Amino acid sequence: HVQLVESGGGLVEAGGSLRLSCVASGYMYQSYCMGWFRQAPGKEREEVGAIDSDGRTKYYDSVKGRFLISKDNRKNTLTLHMNRLKPEDSGTYYCAAARQGCVGALAAFEYDYWGQGTQVTVS
């Protein structure tokens, strides 16, 4: 079993920054694909980005150059640094883990473990 817990959400003004963290517990393997997703009210959940076992990252087009994903394997922690935030970035942010690696793009349903989410509001 793997448990994921997000933290760091809150209210921030447009142009500001936030750092979200996701701490994993249980049997977490470095080979897992780790991803960040977000969901705004009335919209489908969308991928923000992901990081593979070698530290390679990929991002959704709208956040490229503004968001950065990193991980600390020793601490079992996944981090999302968000910069130059926009109101359209508002939503509930989730971290997720997939037992398979990040080969190509993984859809949300392909992830095996999910956190409960943390709310981000950009005003």
Helix (H) or strand (E) holding 20: strand 18-26
In the prediction, which pLDDT does 22 show? Answer: 97
Q: How far is CA 11 from CA 5, 26, 92, 109, in A?
A: 19, 31, 12, 29
Q: How confident is the model at residue 107 (pLDDT cuts 50, 70, 90)?
A: confident
In the prediction, which pLDDT does 100 show? Answer: 87
In the prediction, which pLDDT does 101 show? Answer: 85
In the chain, % of residues over pLDDT 70: 100
In the chain, % of residues over pLDDT 90: 81
Nearest Cα neighbor of 113 from 21, 23, 1 is: 1
Beta strands 113-114 and 91-98 are: antiparallel
Nearest Cα neighbor of 77 from 37, 38, 18, 19 is: 19
